Amino acid sequence: MLVFNKNIKMKNSFKTLLATSILLVSLNSCKKGDLNLTPTNDVTAATVYATPAGYKQELVKLYATYALTSSQGSDVSEIGGINSGFADFLRLFWTSQELTTDEAICAWGDIGIPELDHSTWAADNVFLRGLYSRSILQITFCNEFLRESTPEKLATRGISGVDASDIQKYRSEARFLRAYQYWVLLDGFGNPPFVTEADEIGKVSPKQITRAALFAYVESELKAIESSLSAPRTNEYGRADQGADWALLARLYLNGQVYTGTAKYTEAITYASKVIAAGYQLKANYKDLFLADNNVNNLETILTINYDGSRGTNYGGTTFLINAAINGDMNPSSYGVPNGGWGGNRTRQNLPALFPDPNGTADKRGIFFGTKNNVEDIGVFTDGLRVTKFKNITSTGATPSSLNGTFSSLDFPLFRLAEQYLIYGEAVMRGGSGGTQAQALIYVNNLRQRAYGNASGNVSSLTTDFFLDERGRELYWEGHRRTDLVRFNKFTEATYLWPFKGGIKAGTGLPSFRNIYPIPTADLIANPNLKQNTGY
């Protein structure tokens, strides 16, 4: 049996176990986005959780749902109403965070995509409903794991000693994964349905929670598990530890004013500082963070979603990020997907405008392809520069095994040290205490020295607005942009425009209610306890 082993390279241990777990464990289905589902596994919980090995396998399933669309392969979706090719968590999350902003636009005409390109989505948008349902599905799995791993349950199954202690650590990881998905709903949808392991399954429809109350819950969960998670960088690659917990808290607090109306910048500094002091280090070359061997010699990445290009494949994740940004004319083999290239996503001109040279000869973070910056026709893939920082090749130029020459083994960073540097600096500039502008400047220039290869790009002073641009340069296409634009009051406002914002070629302002997404119509119909977000 394959087991976790921190002494073996991730792609041969935990990652393999993640990929093969779908052959061993049937994932529950979620057809209507209902948090209060009864598990539909073919085997009973008493069988699945009968042994310590069973608990570990179920923990693997919790992580596997981040990288897979179903237990039956890439052609099946475990969430209803959406094509399996679109049903991967990262693809849905990325779409919600990037396609609705100045950083990305898609040439495809699939139902739901043009509305996201134009910022005119409605409550029945299939991609927004897909993200909402995917997050709820993963919360449902975590709730079930937590119900089955209480000390009382372990005692009745004769599990004690070291095994019981290990399973209590698994519980903390499950709580982290649940808190992360509740953060996704908090950030994107504001006021979702809410259920924990304490609620009885199938008895009543889930109650709706307010955004401020959900903020408090996520905060309390992350603080409650802080001491019981593994110390930073001591857990196996791809599993949550204290570093991930602190990183999510820092991100949560940075957006605290948006979520609750009360600034939490001092707390953001506190937790970003914890991450920074935990032994993480910037990777020497920015581009190496997004290559297929980014699991090796990488002390910058804090937590990843792990992909395998030959086992457990799907059409989302980094397979999507790579293929959708290239076409057959761009030599797909040079991106590690010789039979790939879908010709869909590229950037709007606002992103390359952040770089002194969008071809990356000055600030090497600008990794683009093409010659035309401006987007004039959404349906023309060559309108706008392609973003090519994600590649299914290694730092030595090798191409990992790829099913059909299409799928990627590149792991995606959910959290990395660079973001924590930028959280620290922005929180200082917004008036948080416990940090200094001098230290913030050091962190920013550490990033810029890596980007330029020397001190030529260093800055001598900082402003709050500087951080929106610097986050764009450092974190583009990593799933941060919508959240950042909302925090800087630039997502809906007419004071900052991008091509086709609001459905107008030159861009126009949006009504402020679009700062959060709608509760999907299907869930409003299914659950009478839910009320639609204002404006939809």
Query: CB–CB of 514/115 below 8 Å?
Result: no
Query: Is there a domain that residue 202 lies in?
Result: yes
Which residues neighbour 23 within 8 Å (Cβ) at sequence distance 6 or greater?
none
Query: CB–CB of 429/463 below 8 Å?
Result: yes
**Kind and range of the H or E run holding 54:** helix 52-64
How far, in Å, CA of 2 to CA of 38, rounded? 29
Q: What is the DSSP string of 129-156?
A: HHHHHHHHHHHHHHHHHHHHTSHHHHHH
Extract the tokens encoding 186: 């908090």
Query: Is there a domain that residue 70 lies in?
Result: yes
How far, in Å, CA of 214 to CA of 220, rounded? 10
Query: Is there a domain that residue 443 lies in?
Result: no
**Structural domains counted in the chain:** 1
Query: Is there a domain that residue 474 lies in?
Result: no
Torsion, Cα 490 492 497 499, to 10 degrees, reads 130
pTM equals 0.93
Residue 38, sorted as left (phi over 0), alpha (psi -120 to 50) or beta, turns out to be beta
Query: In the beta sheet, which residues pair with residue 36?
Result: none
Query: In the beta sheet, which residues pair with residue 193?
Result: 208
How far, in Å, CA of 176 to CA of 218, rounded? 9
pLDDT score for 516: 98
Domain that holds residue 165: 18-95+123-227
Query: Is there a domain that residue 213 lies in?
Result: yes
pLDDT score for 184: 98
Query: Is there a domain that residue 298 lies in?
Result: no
Query: CB–CB of 281/299 below 8 Å?
Result: yes
How far, in Å, CA of 21 to CA of 18, rounded? 5
Query: Is there a domain that residue 518 lies in?
Result: no
Query: In the beta sheet, which residues pair with residue 366?
Result: none
How far, in Å, CA of 465 to CA of 488, rounded? 8
Question: Mapping DSSP to helix (H, G, I), strand (E, B) and coil, where does residue 227 land?
Answer: coil
Question: Mapping DSSP to helix (H, G, I), strand (E, B) and coil, where does residue 298 land?
Answer: coil
pLDDT averaged per 10 residues, the chain (length 536): 32 49 37 37 77 96 92 71 90 98 98 98 97 96 97 97 97 98 98 95 88 98 98 97 98 98 98 98 98 97 96 93 98 98 98 89 95 96 98 97 95 98 99 98 98 97 98 98 98 98 98 98 95 98
CA-CA distances (angstroms) from residue 85 to 54, 59, 306, 313?
30, 25, 18, 11
How far, in Å, CA of 166 to CA of 313, rounded? 29
pLDDT score for 357: 86
Amino acid letter, residue 289: L
Cα–chain center distance at 223: 21
Query: Is there a domain that residue 242 lies in?
Result: no
- CATH number, domain with residue 74: 1.25.40.390
- Residue (of 103, 423, 452) closest to 286 by Cα position: 452
pLDDT score for 12: 42
